[in-house]
Amino acid sequence: MDSESTTSTGHVSRKTVLRAAVAAGVAAPIALMGVPALARTLTDGGTPLDLTPECDDGDDLTLPQMEGPYFKPNSPLRSAMVDGPGTRLTVSGYVFGRACRPVSGVLLDFWQADVNGAYDNAGYTFRGHQFTGTDGSFKLSTIVPGLYPGRTRHIHVKVQAPGRPILTTQLYFPNEPRNNTDTIFDPRLLMTVRDAGGAREAAFDFVIDVPQNPGPTPTATTTTAPPGGTWAAGRAYAAGARVTYGGVGYVCLQAHTSITGWEPPNVPALWRVG
């Protein structure tokens, strides 16, 4: 989502309430004044905003942006990619569907520059993918990326729920001088960032194109029937395992238990043609 947690009328969005509820382990919607406040639930002065039970709060889909020239498929499965020097950075948040509800099992593939503004095109330094938990949450440990000519500070990410389209976008840092000159920069993709004892902590919530009905739990997604082959949902595949799907052979890149929606053509981080 964008970095705003309020509606056009100044109310906290229902999604922000749900995010706080998930983090606190309580049912939602509910008044959450007694739980630790998240960055997006506070005004600039640190005072909790009034809550609203309405879901019609302008929760638009997260804005897509260009992939850029440095994306590489088959990144390692990991949530920590502190591969070199730099200011430590933790990025955390949730992935929501169209009904403001968290989505589990979402693939997030991150890549970024090192402290000097360079991308590793030979290996997988500062590259990695992970999946959201049952509560739709994710957490990335990395460093604050460096700058390079023509761009402001940013992190790339691809986001895909099972059986749904891929969202490719970029996350930005507030109060960066180059935000004003970077032609790609969009304030709707700003993270909420704060200092944390020599490190930095950032928060961002994605809203992706997953149809949902109102309710307390995520709605499962569906895909079309498999077109034939040896791949099957519910199986544990080891790295190097070979399957066929739709007449094409694939090699497993990361050990995992397959689920509907993660068919080999849909998840290049897990399978490659071979």
- How do the domains of the chain map onto residue ranges? 1-58, 88-207, 236-273
Tokens coding 272:
């490659």
pLDDT of the residue at 233: 83
Q: Does residue 235 contact residue 121 with C-beta atoms inside 8 Å?
A: no
pLDDT of the residue at 59: 55
pLDDT of the residue at 138: 97
pLDDT tens digits for range 238-263: 889 999 988 889 998 877 778 777 78
Q: Does residue 247 contact residue 261 with C-beta atoms inside 8 Å?
A: no
**What fold does the segment set 236-273 form as a domain?**
Seminal Fluid Protein  PDC-109 (Domain B) (2.10.10)
Q: How many C-beta atoms surround the C-beta of residue 197 within 10 A?
A: 7
Q: How many C-beta atoms surround the C-beta of residue 74 within 10 A?
A: 15
Distance in angstroms (rounded) separating the CA atoms of residues 94 and 104:
9
Q: Is the pTM of this model over 0.85?
A: no
Q: What angle do CA 253, 254, 255 make, to 5 degrees?
A: 130
Q: How many C-beta atoms surround the C-beta of residue 196 within 10 A?
A: 12
CATH assignment, 88-207: 2.60.130.10
Owner of token pair 């498999």:
226
Residue 188: partners with Cβ closer than 8 Å, 6 or more residues away: 2, 3, 63
pLDDT of the residue at 100: 86
pLDDT of the residue at 167: 96
Half-sphere exposure (CA, 13 Å, Cβ side) for 237?
25
Question: Each residue of 104-129: b (16+ CB within 10 Å) or e?
Answer: bbbbbbbbbbbeeeebbeeeebbbbb
Pick from 152, 200, 198, 156: which is nearest to 176 by CA? 152
Question: Which of the residues in the chain have pLDDT under 70?
Answer: 1-59, 214-226
pLDDT of the residue at 214: 64
Element spanning 93, H or E: strand 88-96
Distance in angstroms (rounded) separating the CA atoms of residues 108 and 222:
19
Distance in angstroms (rounded) separating the CA atoms of residues 207 and 64:
11
pLDDT of the residue at 253: 84
DSSP letter, residue 172: E
pLDDT of the residue at 34: 25
The gap from C-alpha 238 to its chain's centroid, in whole angstroms, comes to 25
Half-sphere exposure (CA, 13 Å, Cβ side) for 227?
9
pLDDT tens digits for range 128-142: 999 999 999 999 999
